[in-house]
């Protein structure tokens, strides 16, 4: 291999090394103190899903569980905001009902039911 080719490959390798190192160092910068690890706002798709869940909640659930999700102690209707169920348990309860609560599987598909749960989680 000629000296010119060796110089070319050495320069190319050095350039790639510098660019790669600069890229990695830029990605690995330490966060500033007090910086949040979470985005300031939820992605638009999530906001849209929460808004749709809120509409469904207000239409089907608010008359018993109150518009704020905190339930009604006088009628023994539980709060859904302070609920310690998992998301999956909440989906099952909304779909199939429990005790005096009717089922909503005929009214909402799984995605709509999950959006109601996301809406309730956003009220925390």
Domain ranges for the chain, please list them: 1-35, 45-122
Grade residue 28 by pLDDT with cuts at 50, 70 and 90.
very low
This prediction has a pTM of 0.62
SS3 category, 84:
coil
For 112-122, what is the mean pLDDT? 90
105: CB partners within 8 A, 6+ apart: 95, 96, 113
90: CB partners within 8 A, 6+ apart: 80, 83, 117, 120
Q: Exposed, middle or buried by CB within 10 Å (0-12, 13-18, 19+), for 66? A: middle
What pLDDT sits at residue 26?
52
Higher pLDDT, 46 or 63: 63
Domain 45-122 class, CATH top level: mainly alpha
Chain CA centroid to CA 67, Å? 22
């Amino acid at each position: 291999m000629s000296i010119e080719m060796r110089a070319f490959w050495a320069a190319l390798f050095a350039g790639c090394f510098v660019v790669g190192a600069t890229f990695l160092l830029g990605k690995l910068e330490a966060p500033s103190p007090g910086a949040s690890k979470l985005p300031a706002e939820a992605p638009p798709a999530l906001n849209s899903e929460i808004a749709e869940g809120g509409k469904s909640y207000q239409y089907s659930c608010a008359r018993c569980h109150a518009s704020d999700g905190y339930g009604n102690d006088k009628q023994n209707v539980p709060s859904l905001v302070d609920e310690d169920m998992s998301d999956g348990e909440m989906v099952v309860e909304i779909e199939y009902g429990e005790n005096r609560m009717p089922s909503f599987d005929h009214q909402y598909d799984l995605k709509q039911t999950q959006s109601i749960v996301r809406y309730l989680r956003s009220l925390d």
